[in-house]
Structure 1
Amino acid sequence: MAELPLESLIEATLFSSGKSMSVEELSTVLGYDEDEMLDCLGSLQATLKRRKGGALQLAEVGDRWALEVKPAIAEHLPRETKTDMPPKLLKAAALIAYHQPMPQSRLVELLGQKAYDYVRELAQHGMIDRRKDGNTRRLATTRRFSEAFGCPHTDRKKVKAWFREQVHSSGLLDELGDRKEILREESDESGTVQSSLPVKEEE
């Protein structure tokens, strides 16, 4: 049997894994060096972009790569097909979307040390981007996050505005914990006022 092209192997691996993977991880599982892997990822990204009628695209999220539904198609998907997240990750994802770009240190203040695990899991699922910023990281949502929550936008500012509107109008806070508290106001680093989601400590 003829050897499969590396592009096909990468596409199949990312699709079957259902999560984002780093170049190092892909190189390890497929047995190719990282330079060749990176070249093929770029080639596959271009191939999927040119594929007529294709529903998927290859996205680079921080230092990880993931297959995701194209935004123009994602908005037509039935809600039943959206990604389900455990409540612990839902809470962290909601806070990040609400405050993005959000310092990871701030998320730790709100959720405790478990926030580091939540951020790692969300990044592995391609839900958030975590870019290094001094001694912390800046957290923001990705296209995959928009797909999971049924958000029609991918621009982070629009996602933030859309998510805040959902919080205020649809009772989304019920999914974030047992308590229903009024949003409190707090000053951010730039001195402007922003709302903060209520947080219930993990037991």
Structure 2
Amino acid sequence: MTEENTAKQIIEAALFAAGSTVTVETLMKISGLSKKEITRLVTELREDYAARGSGIEIADLAGRFVMQIKPEFAEKVKDVAPKELTSPQLKTLSIIAYHQPITKAEVVEMRGGNAYEHINELHERGLIDLKPHGRTKMMTTTKLFAEYFGIASNDSADVRNKMVEIYRAQGGQSDISSFGFRKRLAVTEMYESVMRMCGITNYKVVNPYQPSENDLKILEETDILIMAKGYADKLQDLNPPYGGTVLEMSSTTFSDLIEDIRMIEKELGEDFTRFGKLSKKEENLNDLKELLEIYRNKALMVKSKASPATEMSAKLLGELGIGLAVDGIVVSPDYGTSSGGKKVKKGEVTFPTHKNQSGNLIKRVCEKYDAVIGGLREIDKSEKAGKKEKKQEAENASEE
């Protein structure tokens, strides 16, 4: 077999494998031939197919070549020919591939009710897998999907890049930013209640402090991680290190919770409504502000001065507006040793720090405030009773 025949066969194979138009430049790269040689060999192939009366032809479309069924036979073989994906189906598939694993409910939320039909078609064609996930289905792409789009690697970055390319080609220019960079959220168990305050339900719960293999997998697929303040540096010690955005939160006071909500709102920006509910967020912000005002009014009844044993104690007392003094009533958290190993003197008034991770954070803050205000008022009453008793004793002594 001559080199020329081999080159012609390579061009023929390339046109057959492509299933769509192929540029002269692509054929030059594949074969190593010049543009003039490519043009000549393609012309010969076209003549060969025409000479033997084949049902296949090679068409020249202004410098792009395609191997296709002759128009007169297209209608007769349409039932056995593979169907091309429609533009809406491609957009739905792009979103599934980009965000996988993703639930059917999430895709329908992004693409609308027609996505149900698209998903069924994509599943029937073997491009996606569906697995039960609660009341919905979790979706991922298949090996056939990679073959269909000519993606050599299953690496998530390669798949995402390909999907963005397809989405843009299918007319998704206007909303590519919202599709291409849709953020994936993960939160520690403690801050789930903050997510509920924002009306956010689309997130995963993870333990980044002592992660399991599943936690590490979740972190690898997370764009925004919400966790307790002071632990972000440790994420670099994980294998692999976490590379997304970290929102470090505090939950000692109502002001902390208000700041937590604002932090999430700011980070999500225009995407907030994709995850949360503005009405729910505003409702909870107003509730927190009202609760803070109620507790500050309660704290006005405290007469004793307080002395904070820790920074957390100082933060609580400052939020409530309780007066401070070096020789005041010592207020401390209920733990004996801080997370840094420092011994903490137990105060005359203590408040709970809730070492367990789960629970409603608003309720926790209320319990702290109630403990501080209640403890100090009890001391006020005790001191008042003591003063009254001394006064009575003095009056009795003067009468004698």
**Normalization by structure 1: what TM-score?**
0.48
Q: Pick 1 or 2: higher relative contact order, CA cutoff 8 A, min separation 6.
A: 1
Greater fraction of residues in helix = 2
The structure with the larger Rg is 2
